[in-house]
Amino acid sequence: MPSEKYFNYLRKDRMTHVWCPGCGNGIVMKSFLEAANNLGLDKNKVAVVSGIGCSSRVTGYLDFNTMHTLHGRSIAFATGVKLARPDLDVIVMGGDGDMLAIGGNHFIHACRRNLDITVVIFNNSIYGMTGGQYSPTTPSDSLASTAPYGNIENQFDPVQLAIASGATYVARSTVYHFLQTAKFIEKGIKHKGISIIEVISNCHTYFGRYNSMPKPAQLHQYFKDNTISISKSKDMSKEELKGKIVMGEFINEDKAGYLEYYEKMRESVVNGGVK
């Protein structure tokens, strides 16, 4: 039985959810609810934005100000919300395909601007809603409906992409480490500037079934057995890191962002011109 402390943040009339039994999406949502409860978030002072995909259905279940938007455009919508209402905590939730394929440019430029929003990536390495096609984060050689002989493309590393693009808070966890995920989301929401939290998740229905791990527990066991700390990864070779999930906070720095510069410019114009 879920704790009643989460019920205040859920639209109970929308239950039960549409996700497959054992899907990681519900675990990520639970981690977010844990973070929201720990922070005591005011539902009226939070906006949660999603795009299209299995994980993007999360906004239908959360009792905040929510937007279920166009495919790949969740960060663009969130940018507008934050500029219009800078007093709100704006949180974006979506999958690896939505965020890093069709939404890839929005992701890069939000990081570059250091916009004060929190982005939670549900990374299950597959397009789950449309039939198990490979995504930008599908590991090389893995099988998918559109890669029946193995994926020949290199995969994106969302953490390194975010850091290289200018993000000021970047962390990675897994659905197996759900309490740590909640802590990263909590810190991300409190952080001033853009926060990127990648959560390695499971789609046993497609990714697992194609790659000999058709049960949720098998993927969770894989996450448990192959997750290592950042400090440990520094002593490992590239070959040794193959197949490993490096978990932790990769960057957490204080740096002025788009909203601060925008407000300075606005005040300058109001007072007689740009200086």
Which residues of the chain are under the pLDDT cut of 50? 1
Residue 138 lies in a domain: yes
- C-alpha 77: how far from chain center: 16
Which residues, in sequence order, are CB contacts of 90 under 8 Å at separation 6+? 46, 47, 49, 78, 81, 82, 116, 117, 118
Residue range 123-144, pLDDT digits in tens: 999 999 999 999 999 999 999 9
Tally of structural domains, the chain: 1
77 within a domain of the structure (yes/no): yes
Is residue 275 a part of any domain in this protein?
Answer: no
What CATH code is carried by the domain that includes residue 27?
A: 3.40.50.970
Question: In this predicted structure, what is the pLDDT of residue 3?
Answer: 66
Provide the pLDDT for residue 7.
Answer: 87
Domain assignment of residue 152, yes or no: yes
Whether residue 231 lies inside any domain: the answer is yes
Domain carrying residue 236: 4-270
User: Does the bond joining 16 to the residue before it have cis omega, within 30 degrees of 0?
Assistant: yes
Tell me if 74 is assigned to some domain: yes
User: ∠ CA(67), CA(162), CA(247), 5° rounding?
Assistant: 100
pLDDT at 266: 87
DSSP reduced 3-state for 265: helix
pLDDT digits (tens, 9 = 90+) for 44-96: 999 999 999 999 999 999 999 999 999 999 999 999 999 999 999 999 999 99
45 belongs to a structural domain: yes
- The pLDDT assigned to 1 comes to 45
